[in-house]
Structure 1
Amino acid sequence: MSSVVETVTSLVTPIVEQRNFELVEVEFVKEGKSWFLRVFIDKEGGIDIEECAWVSEQLSEKLDSLNPDPIPQAYFLEVSSPGAERPLKKEADYHKALGEYIHISLYQSVNDEKQFEGFLESFDENELTLRVRIKTREKQLTFERSNIAKARLAIQF
Structure 2
Amino acid sequence: MQKNLILEKAKNIADEALKGKNYELVDIEFVKEGGNWYLRYYIDKPGGVTLDDCQEVSEEISRLLDIYDPIPQRYILEVSSPGVERPLKKDSDFIRFKGKEIEVKTFEPISGKKSFAGILVDFIDGVIVLKEKDTNFSIPKDKISSARLKFNFKFDEQER
TM-score by length of 1: 0.87
Structural RMSD (CA): 1.7
**Counterpart in 2 of 1:81?**
81
**Distance in 1 of aligned mates of 2:19 and 2:126:** 30
CA contact (8 A) 1:5 1:26 kept: yes
Identity between Structure 1 and Structure 2 (%): 39
**Distance in 2 of aligned mates of 1:128 and 1:4:** 30
CA contact (8 A) 1:21 1:42 kept: yes
**How big is the shift at 1:113?**
2.9
**How big is the shift at 1:131?**
1.1
Count, aligned residues = 151
CA contact (8 A) 1:40 1:81 kept: yes
CA contact (8 A) 2:17 2:64 kept: no
Structure 2: tracts of 5 or more residues without a match: 154-160
**Counterpart in 2 of 1:44?**
46
**Distance in 1 of aligned mates of 2:140 and 2:25:** 27
**Counterpart in 2 of 1:27?**
29
Structure 1: tracts of 5 or more residues without a match: none
Query: Does residue 115 of structure 2 align to residue 115 of structure 1?
Result: yes
Query: Does residue 68 of structure 2 align to residue 72 of structure 1?
Result: no
CA contact (8 A) 1:125 1:145 kept: no
**How big is the shift at 1:49?**
0.5
TM-score by length of 2: 0.86
